Amino acid sequence: MPDAIVSEMTIIYLMLVYPKETIGKVMEKLNEEDFVDAKNREIFAAIRDLYLIENKEIIDVGMLKDKLEKRGTFEKIGGYDYLYQIIEKFYSEASTIDYHINILIEKSIYRKVIETSKTIIREAEKQERKANELLDFAEARILEIRDRGIRKGFTNLLEIIEEHENEIIEKANKRSSVIGLPSGISFLDNLTGGFLPGNLIIIASRPSVGKTSFALFIHRYLSVEKNEATAIFSLEMSANELAQRFISMQSNVSNMKIRTGSINLEEFAKIIEAIGKLKESAPLWIDDSSSSLLEIKAKARRVVRENKVKLITIDYLQLIELEPHERKRRESRQQEIAFITRNLKNFAKELNIPIIVLSQLSRKAEERADKKPQLSDLRESGSIEQDADIVVLLYRTKDDSQRIIGVNVAKNRNGPIGEDTLIFESSVFRFTTMMQDDLETPSLEDIPFE
């Protein structure tokens, strides 16, 4: 397997001789699996613990010896003889650290590609997966290697300002409060300014409140009204079910009537007109066959690259699965969800588009008198709240008709938070604004920031 043992030992030498200049860089860009030699890997792990856990900025041979003894590996690595061998034979200047780090990263990527290729070959030989599923599996594994190979450092603020100067001027000239992708729901757009590239948006509710319909309403608006291509990963409903919902939404004909075929001539004409309108609109891509995070990311990259998709929705978070090797690293479902949400936030930044993720709420909200959910009700992990840029909580109000849906923007990283109510026409999956004066959205000046 590809290796760079000399660079491994040179990096250890530099961390011991020039700790202030090198350890920070090494810890930022390398991990244990980047070291092939078991002794070097163990030394790296000991230095990492001293630096990151015990906050030691300067690490000498004596400190390293004590740490290795506590880990029970000092004799295994060859004791003082091996450490002094490194110090005496691998002289180098601190300025060479980036060179040796890059060599280790490159060799590590080569090894991962070889190992992954062998796995893909084994899967192909088994012939247990369908051909398309195998291709998605292979693409996901290769892209996972690329993700781990990207280690971006600091960027100077002036460079960022220069890159975004024209964008800032363009937004200022628009003189609009909506600078991102609009949702078609004025209250939400006024608070958020639209969904911005890199945003992770969580839309959460208890079952059967309407979170899927809420997301579909946004997709239909972007596709039909704004001519923007979007994509949906449906882990619960089939593509056929979603397509039927879009037809019902666009035609304003009851979904139940469409399902049963009990429609009159006027409704039939509306359906045909709606189908024609949907055909003319920007493409809306649906995938109902993916469940693993890797597979979703692989397909998402492709649809964004090939079809210029501007928004992705995943329905829903608690159904996303991790690959077996990732699942083994985590002790609970809470840790898995935390890994998934952090991964999706980084993925939104990588794709430079907003990603909407639907999520379940716990039963706690139903136990309250007003039924209003809180951020703490997000099911299975507080990391959902932490990683999200925007969190929208949906709930049924006490209204007897069960048509009034409360919409609570409970978190808005870059703007104010607030609440409003919408009428939910569940038979056609449409949301409309309440018209009563006492339910009008308050002025932005009166809404507290998060």
- Asked whether the bond before 316 is cis by omega within 30 degrees of 0, the reply is yes
Q: Can you read off the two tokens belonging to residue 273?
A: 């007109």
CA dist., res. 305 & res. 162, Å (int)? 25
CA 173-175-181 angle, to 5 degrees, is 100
Taking the C-alpha atoms of residue 399 and residue 408, their distance in angstroms, rounded to an integer, is 17
251 class by beta-carbon count within 10 Å (0-12 exposed, 13-18 middle, 19+ buried):
buried
Q: For residue 364, what are its two tokens?
A: 């706690």
Distance separating alpha carbons of residues 87 and 90, to the nearest angstrom: 6
Contact between 218 and 184 (Cβ < 8 Å): yes
212 vs 203: CA distance, rounded Å: 9
Are the beta carbons of 323 and 136 closer than 8 angstroms?
Answer: no
φ, ψ of residue 419 to 5 degrees: the values are -130, 155
What 3-state DSSP class applies to 262?
coil
Using CA atoms, how far apart are residues 302 and 110, in angstroms rounded to an integer? 23
Q: How far apart are CA 200 and CA 196, in angstroms?
A: 9
Kindly report the CA angle at 450 between 166 and 199, in degrees rounded to 5? 45
Residue 184, both tokens: 């078609």
As beta bridge partners, residue 314 has 233, 357
- Residue 329: how many CA atoms within 13 Å on its side-chain side? 9
Q: Is 236 a catalytic residue?
A: yes
Catalytic residue among 57, 163, 225, 236: 236
DSSP 389-420: SEEEEEEE-S-TTS-EEEEEEEEETTSB-EEE
Query: Catalytic positions, please?
Result: 236
